[in-house]
Amino acid sequence: MERRQLVIIGSGPAGLTAAIYGRRSGLDTLILEGGLCGGQINNTAEIANYPGIKTTSGIDLAGAMREHASDFGAELRECTVESLCLGGDDKIVRTDKGDISADAVIIATGSTYNKAGFKGEDDFAGRGVAYCAVCDGPMYQDESVAVIGGGNTAVEEADYLTEFASKVYIVHRREALRANSIAIERAKANPKIEMLLGWVPDEITGGDSVRGLRLHSLKDGQAKEIAVEGVFVFVGTKPNTGFLKDGSVQVSDRGWIKTDDMMETSAEGVFAAGDVRDKFLRQVATAVGDGATAAMAAYDYISNQHYLKSALFEPDRAVALLISSIDSDHLALARETDGWASSGGTPVVVIDGHHNLRIREKLGVRELPSLVEMRGGVKAREAKPSSIEDIKSFCGSNE
């Protein structure tokens, strides 16, 4: 089976950034891309809120990121990820082109906007049809736009769009909005917003760009067209996590992957970055930050695993002292232990059990500080030390 240090699933901004940071850290890095490199930013005609670049297209930014990752030596491979197997220390990524064993995995598969399904939605994507108000709203200064949807996102984004647009229509198929009362009242109080409730979008009109939106009423079948230059669709998004079918990582009730501040998921050595995460804001800039954090956390994880394997699990006998790095008494005991070992005592592997919860779970250690003796990679015994004398006694020394 092919073996790699770091496998990144997804080649959007988060995945490509993770690849850059992974390679700069010296990791053997493989990116698995299942579609067009860059992900959803390829559908954005203009990006004007990425720091340091006043304006660029999504395609150009994606191409530059891909080239950057490739120049650092990251390998990119087109394939479809079918599943992720996390039964042992190795992570097995199953693809349509073979299985890959990885020391660490970063899931950066992004999300997909739900489409409303009216005629012209796909044809005008990037030319007047948008799915992100923060990304594309400033392009519609003093113009009219329509917002499709009636939930919190649609109503709140409609209000946000009035910062730029002269007129915002909220088009919703039901007679009542589904958003919370605060968002609804705020929208009703905004003079730039007109609500078209009980109406359904049928077709976009225009040539090179959007010029209008045809609607019909569900109540009486009446048809009309509103003049708009942009149509924003907010009927939900979904994470691209279809390959996680076995509940291998913890997700929210809507399917977004949960992580800690280090981007690590509930599965050891598996990280998530970008839009696939359960997070507040999904933008290129936040995806890039996630990718950098995930890669450095993966590097730290892999380095620690290699050290612990060689120092604790491979020797015939090894002794470990697990402490809490935020406890001054524990730190003092660790210094004494290092000093004793350096002067000829038994070597002791000192582990920060406060930050390394995974190794504590693996060793079955509940309280800190704790001494653990390993025999042939298996825990043989455990004790709770309170002084250097306890450690000497545990190690079988009279020094």
| 339 pLDDT tier (thresholds 50, 70, 90) | very high
- Lowest-pLDDT range, 175-179, 243-247, 316-320, 369-373? 243-247
**Single-letter code of the amino acid located at 141:** Q
Q: Is 85 considered catalytic here?
A: no
**Is 89's pLDDT higher than 80?**
no
Radius of gyration of the chain (CA): 27
Least confident of 38-47, 118-127, 185-194, 379-388: 38-47
| pLDDT tens per residue, range 4-27 | 999 999 999 999 999 999 999 999
249, two tokens = 């990582």
Residue 101, CA distances (Å) to 95, 96, 303, 314 in order: 11, 14, 17, 20
For residue 38, pLDDT over 50 is answered with: yes
pLDDT in tens, 205-221: 999 999 999 999 999 99
Kindly tell me if the per-residue pLDDT of 162 is higher than 60: yes
Report residue 174 CA to chain centroid gap.
33
Fold classified for 315-394:
Glutaredoxin (3.40.30)
For residues 250 and 265, is the Cβ–Cβ distance under 8 A? yes
Q: Which segments of the chain belong to CATH 3.50.50.60?
A: 2-112+237-308, 129-233
What is the second-level CATH architecture of the domain 129-233? Answer: 3-Layer(bba) Sandwich (3.50)
What pLDDT does residue 399 have?
A: 43
Mean pLDDT (the chain) is: 93
The answer to whether 135 is a known catalytic residue is yes
pLDDT at 398: 42
- Assign 334 a pLDDT band (cuts: 50, 70, 90): very high
Is the C-alpha dihedral spanning 35, 40, 46, 50 positive or negative? negative
Q: Is the pLDDT of residue 113 over 50?
A: yes
Q: Which of 135, 275, 290, 352 is catalytic?
A: 135
Catalytic residue among 136, 275, 290, 352: 136
**pLDDT attached to residue 265:** 96
Q: Which of 132, 159, 275, 352 is catalytic?
A: 132
CB 47 within 8 A of CB 55: yes
Q: Is the pLDDT of residue 377 over 90?
A: yes
Lowest-confidence segment of 88-102, 185-199, 289-303 by average pLDDT: 88-102
CA distances for 14 relative to 56, 100, 158, 301, 316, angstroms: 18, 21, 28, 19, 42
Q: Over the stretch 126-153, which tens digit does the pLDDT of each residue have?
A: 899 999 898 899 999 999 999 999 999 8
pLDDT at position 174, please? 95
The pLDDT of residue 39 is 85
Q: Residues spanned by CATH 3.40.30.10 within the chain?
A: 315-394
The secondary element (H helix, E strand) that includes residue 16 is helix 13-24
Q: Nearest 5 degrees, angle CA 244-CA 249-CA 255?
A: 65
Instruction: List, for residues 41-58, the tens digit of each pLDDT value.
Output: 887 767 888 999 998 988
| Number of residues that make up the chain | 399
Q: Does domain 2-112+237-308 have CATH number 3.30.1300.10?
A: no
Tokens of 299: 């590097």
Residue 397: pLDDT band (50, 70, 90) is: low
CA gap 246, 237 in Å, rounded = 22
Tokens 């891909």 -> residue: 66
CA 315 to chain centre: 37
